[in-house]
């Protein structure tokens, strides 16, 4: 099952959304690309997404943050 994309437009005009796995991020990037083609914004977006795609989920008895 595919998770729905959720995007929130804040009163300031900014948008808020989640980042997740690579496929979800690709879908979100496509939506944002339809809103803007500003290269600086898209580069920042890619860096934001990269952080979640490179995260390794560790399962065990402790929670790791960082």
Three-state DSSP string of the chain = CCCCCCEEECCCCCEEECCCCHHHHHHHHHHHHCCCCCHHHHHHHHHHHHHHHCCCCCCCCCCCCC
What is the pLDDT at residue 43? 93
**Burial of 28 from C-beta contacts in 10 A (0-12 / 13-18 / 19+):** buried
pLDDT tens for 25-64 read 899 999 999 988 899 999 998 988 887 777 666 666 555 5
What is the pLDDT at residue 48? 85
What is the pLDDT at residue 51? 75
Determine, yes or no, domain membership for 14: yes
Determine, yes or no, domain membership for 47: yes
**pLDDT higher than threshold 50 for residue 23:** yes
Please tell me the total count of domains within the chain. 1
**pTM of the predicted model as reported, rounded to 2 decimal places:** 0.67
Determine, yes or no, domain membership for 66: no
Q: 32 is in which domain, residue-wise?
A: 7-53
Determine, yes or no, domain membership for 59: no
Determine, yes or no, domain membership for 65: no
């Amino acid at each position: 099952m595919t998770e729905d994309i959720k995007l929130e437009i804040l009163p300031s005009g900014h948008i808020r959304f989640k980042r997740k796995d690579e496929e979800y991020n690709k879908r979100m990037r496509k939506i944002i690309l339809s809103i803007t083609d500003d290269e600086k914004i898209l580069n920042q977006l890619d860096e934001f997404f990269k952080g979640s795609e490179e995260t390794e989920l560790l399962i065990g008895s402790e929670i790791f943050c960082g």
